[in-house]
Amino acid sequence: MRWLISFYLCTVTLSVFAQPQTPDKIYGDLFKDVQLSGIFPDGKTFVDAIPKKDPSEIVKKYKEIKANPAIKFSLELFIQENFDLPKTPQLNYVQQEKDVVQHIRNLWSVLKRDPDQAINGSSLLPLPNQYIVPGGRFREVYYWDSYFTMLGLKESGETKLIENIIKNFSFMINQYGHIPNGNRSYYLSRSQPPFYCLMIELLADIKGADAYTDYLSALEKEYQYWMAGAEKLQTGQAVNRVVKLDDGSVLNRYWDELDIPRQESYKVDVETVGKASELFIASSTFKNDREKNRALEPFQKNLNRHLRAGAASGWDFSSRWFSDHQNITTIHTTDFVPVDLNSLMYQMEMTLQTAYSKMRAASPQTQAGYVSKAGEYGRKAAARKAAIEKYCWNEKEGFYADYDFVQKKINDQLTLAGMFPLFLKVASADHAGKEKNIVMEKLLRDGGLLTTGNTTGQQWDAPNGWAPLQWVAIKGCDNYGFLPEGYTLAERWVVLNKAVYARTGKLMEKYNVVDTKLDAGGGEYPSQDGFGWTNGVLLALIAKYNL
């Protein structure tokens, strides 16, 4: 069995490297020198740059210059001469309308991108249809962002654009085998929280049940991506995105195929891994340097993998993934069975059941096969629901949380990820009530819900609140009849968003829900404005509650 899993890992790795080349592979030493030099404050700048000539010519010229010590050389000038650097049109996002709803409707044209053209040496993965970018430094489509953006597009009557985004994601599933984090080559090694099934459901609500059958093939492929390797697992094993627990339950985890620093955050990751390595060495006893180096290399690769998996989760980064709940050097993302991911996988299985049921009705001549598939996914969903209740419910604390399958213990940290079982109707009524009570008691602030109760300097921790998680919590409350609580959450979030817009003329990526007069902060980059999912959730809440 071990050799089968090893063979599977090898084939997955080969398939990754058969994908479009990433900037580190294209530019080699030039990539490393630029990213480590710090000439651009944002590590995303160079990897999004477009070469002015054939990349091989640029690399050749760079090697010649570096090899000749007589040449006076400016790395920054070399980049400017050979690349078109990305421009962030911040001024496009400044308030021009007093009414925030009208402002958002006008913003769609600013955030909209037309079908792409392939450019040699560019990291952008061309898409065949129009799409919406989040804004600011985020100049490409993002997977889970897009669902929450679609909520606002629906309110704006932008049905064609919603369908175009879904078609783009379907294209990427067929082209690359999955929906990457975003349409950049450096994002291909990972996905994000799988909201594709919910996008299809949203489109079906607008256009009818044909959406389920139209996108069934792509949805099935996405499911196979997330479940790849499950059939080969023995109890207690994990491979890529799947984990088989002691009772035989198969659940999922966040994963990235690579174990190197993220190309778009290269310097940050090198420094994080360097700091963690120093702590690792200081806490260990090695006989000699050879023994130390032999232990250090797998430690560093593993840490890079945890950092990348944290990015795959969308929560990059949060104390949710830290063993000490404070320091990123203790990150161990891939050790967790995350409650949000597995709730989404439950939803995917339920959507596949629905889609095959629709296919049965549409094609009576092949009814037996569709009935069988619908039943299969229904059973998978039921088994996953039971496993989530068993492994992701913290009975002692009274909330849903991530399960550490390596240490075989439930996380004791309260986070808004615990609202996903309510959002997707996985939770039992009793557990839903307890979850709601503790979230309202411990995470609610003047501006809405905290992401976690910890203040760490990470952006997915206190004092920040995020639009997608507010929506998840509000919808979760509605699903279980907690209507006053849902209204309270919606009202506080909308009031905060409108107040910041009135003060700054901007709609932000994230918000400070503790001190509503201060900006949100933390993380690897300044807070961005634009902003796709904030716009979408705000429009949907204003319409739903007439706020």
Beta carbons of 104 and 126 less than 8 angstroms apart = no
CA 134, distance to chain mean position in Å, is: 13
Please, which residues have CB within 8 angstroms of residue 368's CB and are 6 or more apart in sequence? none
Task: Tell which phi-psi region holds residue 441, choosing left (phi > 0), alpha (psi between -120 and 50) or beta.
Answer: alpha
CA distance 119 to 135: 22
Beta carbons of 392 and 401 less than 8 angstroms apart = yes
Please, which residues have CB within 8 angstroms of residue 526's CB and are 6 or more apart in sequence? none
519 assigned to active site = no
Helix (H) or strand (E) holding 206: helix 196-207
Backbone angles phi and psi of 346, in degrees to 5: -60, -45
Q: Which residue has the tokens 């998680």?
A: 469
Structure tokens at 216: 């069934």
- Which residue of the set 24, 264, 485, 509 is catalytic? 509
Please, which residues have CB within 8 angstroms of residue 29's CB and are 6 or more apart in sequence? 62, 63, 66
Helix (H, G, I), strand (E, B) or coil at 169: helix
Backbone angles phi and psi of 393, in degrees to 5: -100, 120
CA distance 331 to 322: 4
CA 339, distance to chain mean position in Å, is: 14
CA distance 528 to 104: 16
Q: Hey, which bits of 26-76 come out as E strands? A: 50-51
201 assigned to active site = no
- Which residue of the set 158, 222, 257, 316 is catalytic? 316
Pairing relation of β-strands 83-84 and 50-51?
Answer: antiparallel
Q: Which residue has the tokens 């290399």?
A: 297
Helix (H) or strand (E) holding 108: helix 100-111
Q: Which residues are catalytic?
A: 316, 509
